[in-house]
Structure 1
Amino acid sequence: MAAVVLVHGLYHRPEHFAVPAQRLRTAGVEVVVPELHRGSLPADTHAVQAAVDALPEPPLVLGHSYGGSVITGVRGAGHLVYLAAFVPDTGESAAGLGGASRQLRDAIVPEPDGATSLHPDLAIDTLYGDCPEPLATRAVGLLRAQAPGCGRGVPEHHSWKHAPSTYVVCAQDRAIDPGVQRKMARRCTHVREWRTGHSPFVAQPDLIVDLLLELLPTLGDGLRIIQGLGVSEP
């Protein structure tokens, strides 16, 4: 069975991917959505690596926003999809690549324990401004506090150098500068551009589903590329 691993970003939860995940499962695709918020980029990467390793064949792995840093460090993907996501190179972190809008920075609220959260009224416009009202309200309600430092983590491995990748630029994004997205997209094998905000998995989940169903038949090509490069991808 074809498999997809969906990796959420900062402040988000697996439940944010509930609609596209269910539609993919209805289409016969195995879908895994790991929970991040493990306290650091290495810990988050380990959680996703465990999900990938548990699958019998190299899966398609999608990372949203900070999730791009996470999937960059994961080995064994047949194809990578970066959705308005960070694509760090050697020595780079999501924070170092920049791109977070002033609107997003203004929405961040420091918590007493050093964590941060997002102000609901500001988050709804920044992350879900193009989403129907009931869906946007639900998505904001799912947001959780984020431990400090994850965005400053540096991946130890750079999977986009060894596996095919597709970058999706969200051209109406109010959280991550679309211009920065386009620059990072140059590191990927293929580039798509959607006229959506930061969270198309909430606003237009069929875009996600259709793209992944289109890419799933190419997973064998990714495995042949990995083998041809002589890269060990457990």
Structure 2
Amino acid sequence: MSRRLKTVFAAVLVALAGTLAAQPANATATHGAKPTVVLVHGAWADASGWNGVIARLTSDGYPVLAPANPLRGLASDVAYLNSLLATVDGPVVLVGHSYGGSVVTNAAVADPDVKALVYVSAVIPDQGESVFDLSTKYAGSKIGDNTIKTVPLASGDADVYVKTENFADIFSADLPRSTSALLAATQRPITYGALTEPSGTPAWKTIPSWALIPRDDQVIPLQAQRFMTARAKSRTVEVSGAHAILISKPGKVTELIETAARATN
């Protein structure tokens, strides 16, 4: 190699070394990092309903959070979720089941890190609509006066439960009866106020969304879910199954979440 070529080669190496030194220490680790998946459960359930989904997501390398949704009121539940989201660094895929769909629809508006919404047998409200409005918009829901019980609260509101004897048929018909019995006994009630509180500005108007619809849902009628997902322009998958599809078919739910997550890249 001539002296001139050696000089040019050395200059290139120095320049390259300077460029690499200027990169942040975590640049390689950050590039292509997977988004955090935040899973929000709905009424008459708790975060353990996501266990099968969480196992699959974490096995595939996704960071996951599944908070306990308070189920006390839409605005307060949204505020709680926003507090949690504020602690998450980087992009987020926000997933809501059932009433949780209403919570994520409102919470995502205030968080620019939410890059995708995933609705799982969920309510997807527009501004001014309530969970009650949408679940009764079309015939087919078995949630009614004869299948629920209410517990009055000191605040003047009331907690709403699904009656134990109706729980399996309404909520989890595609699960073993023994599993449904446990879910019924441990169900977390939602307040009547949360079910009737109007929703705010919907995030699905500005954030891309995906949806999974169980065709045998007895809580949110099939026609209602098709109406909401079409309106939100959600990329939608329909499967056979009941309202608790996140428990009975965690693989299908995970597949859709990971599809949404890959789209954030």
Using the size of structure 2 for normalisation, the TM-score is 0.77
Q: Name the counterpart of 2:135.
A: 98
Unaligned runs of 5+ in 1: 221-234
Write the letter of the residue equivalent to 2:179: L
* Stretches of 4+ aligned residues off by more than 4 angstroms: none
**CA distance in structure 2 between the partners assigned to 1:177 and 1:102 by the alignment:** 5
Percent of aligned pairs with the same residue? 25
Q: Name the counterpart of 1:74.
A: 107
Q: Name the counterpart of 2:194.
A: 150
Find the residue that maps to 2:61 and give its secondary structure.
coil
Q: Name the counterpart of 1:15.
A: 48
**CA distance in structure 1 between the partners assigned to 2:99 and 2:89 by the alignment:** 26
Write the letter of the residue equivalent to 1:177: P
RMSD: 1.8
Write the letter of the residue equivalent to 1:32: L
- Is 1:184 paired with 2:228? yes
Q: Name the counterpart of 2:252.
A: 207
**CA distance in structure 2 between the partners assigned to 1:98 and 1:117 by the alignment:** 16
Superposed, 1:30-179 pairs within 5 Å as 30-75=63-108, 76=111, 77-99=114-136, 101-105=140-144, 106-113=146-153, 114-179=158-223
Contact 1:7 1:34 in 2 (8 A): yes
**CA distance in structure 2 between the partners assigned to 1:23 and 1:60 by the alignment:** 15
**CA distance in structure 2 between the partners assigned to 1:78 and 1:95 by the alignment:** 28
Computing the radius of gyration over CA atoms, which structure comes out larger, 1 or 2? 2
Unaligned runs of 5+ in 2: 1-33
**CA distance in structure 2 between the partners assigned to 1:148 and 1:164 by the alignment:** 30
1:189/1:19 CA distance change after superposition, 3 Å: closer
Find the residue that maps to 2:102 and give its secondary structure.
helix
Write the letter of the residue equivalent to 1:40: G
**CA distance in structure 1 between the partners assigned to 2:188 and 2:133 by the alignment:** 23
- 1:139 offset after TM fit, Å? 2.4
Query: How many aligned positions are there?
Result: 220
**CA distance in structure 1 between the partners assigned to 2:41 and 2:135 by the alignment:** 19
**CA distance in structure 2 between the partners assigned to 1:124 and 1:160 by the alignment:** 31
Contact 2:71 2:189 in 1 (8 A): no
State the Cα deviation string for residues 96-152 of structure 1 (Å, max 9, x = none): 223484522232101143222121120111110011334323322320222221011
1:165/1:116 CA distance change after superposition, 3 Å: same
Using the size of structure 1 for normalisation, the TM-score is 0.87
